[in-house]
Amino acid sequence: MTEHRPIADEFVTANREFAVDFPDVDLQVEPIRRVAVVACMDSRMDISQLLGLGHGEAHVIRNAGGVITDDVIRSLCLSQRLLNTREVVLVHHTDCGLAKVVEEEFRTQLIHEAGVAPSWALEAFSDPHSSVRQSMQRLHLSPFLLHRDHIRGFVYSVTTGLLDKGGTGRLDTEPSGYRPIGDKGSGPRNSESPLMRSRNCRSDGLYKIPKLGPGVAGGFRDT
């Protein structure tokens, strides 16, 4: 493995140049366009550029795969409840690194090397379209989000630069291979209810339906 030369000092130099004519001193804390974007951390995606976003116009939350996890829900909860965003846009992409990993093998190797099992799931997937639909469904089912009527998902092509619609705000069926947040299984979990067993399962094994706003049935807006 090639030795890495740290580049943090280069960032400091670039920041000094950026701050000379600092343009954002009057930006408000609330995103101007009232939208939160959840996207993969892939370095080929410049989210602001590919979506045409300016400084201060959106919250951008990124992680491996752009999948909806408990920590993403935490950020979106703050984004909506304190900072007035009303829309969530998901951006997954082709040729994602998570599509090249076998989750159970990765987890086994990690336990072997670290000596402890991770508390999180890797969230590996094979199809970005299925993955973005699964993440959309997790948002629809979260009891912590105030606004679930404007949720869109897209798959970005790293070879064309174009967005492909991954889904709309309405979900009628459980996506193939649906897995609740934090599921660490090695394969698809079609037998799992989409109502996130860890939060909605009663002691008798039945599922509690989350309390939803007007016009919403079973977690999905009736349009």
Query: What domains sit in the chain, N to C, each tagged with a CATH number?
Result: 28-221 (3.40.1050.10)
Helix (H) / strand (E) containing 151: strand 151-156
Report, in this order, helix, strand and coil percent for the chain, each rounded to 5: 30, 15, 55
User: What phi and psi, each to the nearest 5 degrees, are found at residue 59?
Assistant: -85, 135
Task: Specify burial of residue 73 (Cβ count, 10 A radius: 0-12, 13-18, 19+).
Answer: middle
Say what the pTM is: 0.76
For the chain, state the CA radius of gyration. 19
Write out the chain's pLDDT in tens, 223 residues.
789 999 999 999 999 999 999 989 999 999 999 999 999 999 999 999 999 999 999 999 999 999 999 999 999 999 999 999 999 999 999 999 999 999 999 999 999 999 999 999 999 999 999 999 999 999 999 999 999 999 999 999 999 999 998 654 444 334 445 566 666 554 433 333 333 333 333 333 332 333 333 333 333 333 3
